[in-house]
Amino acid sequence: MGLLKAAVTSHSQRMKQLSSLPHWVLGCLCQGSATNFSTSVFVCTKLADMAVMADRCPTLELQEKWYPRWEANNYFFSGKKMKPGAATAAATTDAPPFVVMLPPPNITGTLHIGHALTVALQDTLVRWQGMRGADVLWVPGCDHAGIATQAVLEKRLLLQKGVTRHQLGRERFLQEAWQWKDAKEARIYEQLRKLGAALDWDRSVFTLDEGMSAAVRSAFIALYEKGLIYRSSRPVHYCPALQSVISDIEVEHLKLEGPTALTVPGHRSPVMFGQMFDIAYPVLSCEDHTRETGQMIIVSTTRPETIPADVAVMVHPSDERYTRLVGRRVANPCRPGQSMPIIADNAADPTLGTDRPAQSVTIL
């Protein structure tokens, strides 16, 4: 009885010591049969004297420890299935290749959460293919993003140095651009390393490298010769500050509730946007479509600059104000001698702008 009491007391003391350990530590150490429970308890009581484990994975410390080792051992380059003693990828075995190009981030800034998602997905595929025995090559790189980078750099120069690219001069501006590129590229590559990306850093590229530029020119010429690239006159977005055409993605759209004065790059004073203009379209005679009858169709628009390209005036077929004019022609107020038909279609909204009846007329 005395021995049993002593055993129970000893067991109770050990359980109190175990209670101070994290649950996941107990789960790892104390699983097993009844025969080795005493040994497990003994190990746990020894660990109870140690510092409490962190409740989160120390990702930064792990990254700083392991990623340099991965790079030093050339884990991330094509040809890692090399014969013993081989110094280059040329001495590889016949392992099937798996090649991926990292979508090159723009040097306009640094990586964001969208980049992290893309890198995580590609990294999963790359490592999986490597585990399957493929000879993996994941190529890193950065994109110069010409117009966007120029815009960011010009804003920076104006804020920090108070100069424009014209005042700075072409050569000085290019020097600033390359310095910007080197700094942003280094930061982006640092972020990719912190993400643990299995990239072959010896093969990193920049979209203005000679090899990349030659490939772009070759592809452009091939597409041109096939008729897939052509030159034509089209409406474009022109930036008065950059003095250049820009793509749709570079345009910032603003929704205005009414006339609003906005500051526009390249203009000393604000420019009024969202202002409605009433434009009179003279109705022409039915006989020769050249003589004005004195009747007018008033059209309200915020885009009077598009009037020279008008090809028709459209009204709703049930709008009694204009049904008698359907089939007639009107003159283009900005192009003397050019006429256009008045047509009817349900696409015209007769209820639009009840305080401005002319808004119910649509220009095509």
pLDDT tens per residue across span 246-288: 888 778 888 888 889 988 776 789 988 888 888 889 999 887 7
Both 112 and 174 in a single domain?
A: yes
Residue 156 makes CB contacts below 8 A (sequence gap 6+) with 180
Both 75 and 208 in a single domain?
A: yes
* Inside any domain, residue 53: no
Compute the average pLDDT of residues 112-119. Answer: 94
pLDDT in tens, 311-358: 888 888 888 888 888 999 999 988 888 889 999 988 887 776 433 434
Compute the average pLDDT of residues 13-38. Answer: 41
Residue 148 makes CB contacts below 8 A (sequence gap 6+) with 106, 108, 250
CB 74, CB 88: distance < 8 Å: no
Separation of alpha carbons 185 and 207, rounded Å = 12
Neighbours of 350 (CB within 10 A): 19
**Tell me, what CATH number does 107's domain have?**
3.40.50.620
Both 27 and 98 in a single domain?
A: no
* Cα dihedral: 134, 139, 140, 141 (round 10): -160
> What SS3 state is found at 328?
coil
Going 336 to 342 to 347 to 351, the CA torsion angle's sign is positive
pLDDT in tens, 200-244: 998 899 999 999 999 999 999 999 999 999 888 888 888 877 778
* Cα dihedral: 306, 309, 315, 316 (round 10): -90
**Chain center to CA of 115:** 8
Both 202 and 321 in a single domain?
A: no
Could you tell me how many helices (H) and strands (E) the chain has, helices first?
A: 9, 14
How many domains are contained in the chain?
A: 3
SS3 readout for 125-174: HHHHHHHCCCEEEEECEEECCHHHHHHHHHHHHHHHCCCCHHHHCHHHHH
* Inside any domain, residue 263: no
Both 210 and 106 in a single domain?
A: yes
pLDDT in tens, 62-77: 888 888 888 888 778 6
363: part of which helix (H) or strand (E)?
Answer: strand 362-363
Angle among Cα 82, 84, 85 to the nearest 5 degrees reads 100
In the numeric block, which tokens belong to residue 243? Answer: 């003095």
Both 286 and 226 in a single domain?
A: no
* Inside any domain, residue 246: no
**Tell me, what CATH number does 355's domain have?**
3.90.740.10
Identify which of 186, 178, 170, 168 has the alpha carbon closest to the alpha carbon of residue 208. Answer: 178
* Inside any domain, residue 73: yes
Both 224 and 98 in a single domain?
A: yes
More confident call, 220 vs 10: 220
* Inside any domain, residue 176: yes
pLDDT confidence band for 192 (50 / 70 / 90): very high
* Inside any domain, residue 64: no
Compute the average pLDDT of residues 90-106. Answer: 80
Please give the full DSSP string across 41-94, using - where no structure is assigned: HHHHHHHTTSPPPPSS--HHHHHHHHHHHHHHTTTTSTT-SBPTT--SGGGB-S
- In 181-254 the beta strands, taken as DSSP E runs, fall at 205-206, 237-239, 244-246
In the numeric block, which tokens belong to residue 1? Answer: 């009885």
The phi and psi torsions of 207 (rounded to 5 degrees) equal -65, -10
Find the domain containing 309 and state its range: 277-363
In the numeric block, which tokens belong to residue 103? Answer: 């979508």
* Inside any domain, residue 294: yes
